[in-house]
Amino acid sequence: MANLKKSSTDKSIAGVCGGIAEYYGISSLAVRLIFLLLPGANILIYLILVNTMSDSPPSL
C-alpha cells in the first residue's frame, strides 16, 4: 500500500490536495473543492498536513 505523500507533479500550493487525490485515485479538483467547502478549521487542517505529510520524490 502506498504512503500518503504530497504530490510533486499535481500541486497548486504545497501538493497536499494533489497527494490526497493520488492516494485515493480521485480528481485533485474534487479534493480541492471538498477542502474549500468544508466548514470549520480547514486552513488549520491544511497547515497541519503541509507540515506532517512527507514529500514525494521528484519525477523526471
Give the tens place of pLDDT for each residue, 19-36.
999 999 999 999 999 888
pTM for this entry: 0.81
pLDDT at 59: 65
Q: Is the pLDDT of residue 46 over 70?
A: yes
Q: What percentage of the chain has pLDDT greater than the value 70?
A: 93
Cell numbers at 31, concatenated: 479534493
Contact criterion met (CB below 8 Å) for 19 and 53 = yes
Contact call for residues 28 and 14 (beta carbons, < 8 A): no
Helix (H) or strand (E) holding 28, with range, is: helix 28-37
